[in-house]
Structure 1
């Protein structure tokens, strides 16, 4: 029998992985509800504390989908829960600027050129456009949806901070399930209060880059306009979210039906 995981008083399932959370409980526009305990989103899973491993193992996770780049995965390997299959699914070209911003922050000259004087916000807007049109992203997010629809559950998917690559993955899955846009944005913005782990390494990177923390902050938080950039870019390129699903992600109606049948009550 698995251990029942109680959400702690601070709202965390795993306090050592602050952006680990269940997408269950969200309502769809038609009045249905996303089932609890089937679909989790998270920040990097190398930081699960020894004290919380039993809770982590008790969640019944059978698929762990890692959206990070090869460098990120090798630097900080995940702790995979007992009984789960680990899969790396790329949603960014590892050579793209958006996938290598941490490396850029190690070089003060490059960091100033890329992120100073408000450029960090423009950088993030570019990342959110790439997440919905780049070939690697289209292939990767299709894979994520198919795994959620057809693979063993529960499933957890994550990147490093659990806010951008994971944020779009959650927005996509919730959109396919029929959750309204306002609720999707609310879930997305919840990452802002769960960045304690990310802030530690981002502050170190900021110090190494010579940039003031204020110049780096746009990359450490989510903003509604970031997610809106993805949705607007979808409309510009594909005409609608539905067209993006069919023509961009090339997901079949059968896969979407399976996802809804599994995840909704």
Structure 2
């Protein structure tokens, strides 16, 4: 029998992966509730501590969707839950400026040109625009939504920090389910209290790159303005969120309906 983790969105299911959390529990604008125990969002899953494996394996996860780049996946391979399918689903062009920024930080000269003197904030704005318009992102997020809609068992999706690529994936799914924008933003911002692992590796990268922590800080946390950048860019490019879903992601009405049937009480 699986272990049942009785937690809220405010709790830590896995302290070794602090941004691992249930996407369920939110109320929709129509008064329905997103079911718990079906979809989890997370930061990197190579960090799961041995003592937490029973909880991790006991959540009933049968599908792991890794949104990271090939370099990230190869460098830090996931610990996949017992009995789960592993799926690499790209949401970034590996050659794009927003991908593999850890490699850029490893080169002090490149790091300074890309991130110093306020450039890190502009870099993040660019990332959030790419996440809703780049071809890889459109294909990848469509794949993610279709997997969530299909089920039939629990799924976890993640990136490295679980806040940007995963943050947009969560915002997209909650938006499709009819969760209001304010709640979507609150779920997104909850990542800020769960970045202990990110701070460790970003501190090392910043020190190696010669940048001050303040210069890389915009990449270590989420801000409401980042998510707003994606939504505003959607309106500019597609006209509306609904048109982004149908014309950009090319998600069928049947898939969206199946997602809602599966995910809402």
Q: Partners of 1:22 and 1:153 in 2: how far apart?
A: 14
> Counterpart of 1:197 in 2: which secondary structure?
helix
* 2:61 aligned counterpart, secondary structure: coil
SS in 2 for 1:97: coil
- Contact kept, 8 Å, 2:67 with 2:165, in 1: the verdict is yes
Matched ranges for 1:49-60 at <5 A: 49-60=49-60
Deviation track 1:178-234 (CA, whole Å, cap 9, x = no partner) reads: 000000000000000000001100000000010000000000000000000000000
Correspondences of 1:29-68 after superposition (within 5 Å): 29-68=29-68
**2:260 corresponds to:** 260
1:163: which partner in 2?
163
CA distance in 2, matches of 1:7, 1:26: 14
Q: How do 1:195-206 and structure 2 match up within 5 A?
A: 195-206=195-206
Residue pairs, 1:108-119, within 5 angstroms: 108-119=108-119
SS in 1 for 2:203: helix
Deviation at 1:5, TM superposition (A): 1.5
The answer as to whether partners of 1:14 and 1:56 remain within 8 angstroms in 2 is yes
TM-score (norm 2): 0.98
Residue 73 (1) aligns with residue 88 (2): no
- The C-alpha deviation readout for 1:43-95, integer Å capped at 9, x for no partner, is 01001100000000000001100000000001111000011100000000001
Tell me the residue number matched to 2:87: 87
Match of 1:214 in 2: 214
- In the alignment, the residues of structure 1 paired with residue 28 and residue 155 of structure 2 have an alpha-carbon distance, to the nearest angstrom, of 20
5+ unaligned residues in a row in structure 1: which ranges?
A: none
- Structure 2: any 5+ residue segments left out of the alignment? none
Q: Does 1:22 align with 2:45?
A: no
CA distance in structure 2 between the partners assigned to 1:245 and 1:13 by the alignment: 31
- Determine the C-alpha separation between the residues in 2 that align with 1:65 and 1:126: 24
Contact kept in structure 1, 2:72 and 2:100, CA below 8 Å:
no
Q: How far 1:97 moved relative to its partner?
A: 1.2
What RMSD in Å do the two structures reach over aligned CA positions?
1.2
Structure 1 residue 152: Cα displacement: 2.9
How much has 1:7 moved relative to structure 2?
3.3
Distance 1:88 1:153 in 2: 18
Deviations, residues 139-186 of structure 1 (Å, cap 9, x unaligned): 000000000001332010000000000000000000000000000000
Q: What is the rounded CA distance, in whole Å, between the counterparts of 1:63 and 1:131 in structure 2? A: 22
| Structure-2 residue corresponding to 1:2 | 2
CA distance in 1, matches of 2:110, 2:131: 23
Residues 71 and 100 in structure 2, CA contact (< 8 A), matched pair in contact too: no
